[in-house]
Amino acid sequence: MKPIKLLKVFVYFMAVLIFVLLGALFYGFSITGKDGIDPAAGEQTYTMFLGEPEGSRVRHFVAAGEMVILHLEGGGMPVRFLVFDTNNGRVVGRVNLGQSP
């Protein structure tokens, strides 16, 4: 095979390979969300009732393994922390920073 013909075959092969890889890349983007996470995975939601007074608000939260620690304030109560277990959907601990009753 002549060097020019070999070069042409190589160029055509690379062009086809680029188009195939770009198609695979666009297909991958189309089946995932904008942040790279499967859209169906982000549809899981939780509704929980913490038994806190009206007007309480979550100031901050931290995920710690299977637990979520919520920093709450307001609602006529002192600053407090709740430890929420995501496996069973229950509050498993409370820390109040006010005076003891």
pLDDT at 2: 83
Q: How many CB atoms lie within 10 A of CB 70?
A: 19
Q: Say how far apart CA 86 and CA 91 lie, in whole Å.
A: 9
- Record the tokens describing residue 71, joined without a space: 């920093």
Which of 51 and 73 is assigned the larger pLDDT? Answer: 73
Look at residues 44, 73, 65, 45 and name the one whose alpha carbon lies nearest to residue 82: 73
The conformational region for residue 49 under phi > 0 = left, psi -120 to 50 = alpha, else beta, is beta
pLDDT at 19: 94
Compute the average pLDDT of residues 51-76: 88
pLDDT at 52: 85
Percent with pLDDT over 90 in the chain: 26
pLDDT at 28: 79
Give the predicted TM-score (pTM) of the model. Answer: 0.51
Look at residues 59, 60, 91 and name the one whose alpha carbon lies nearest to residue 74: 59
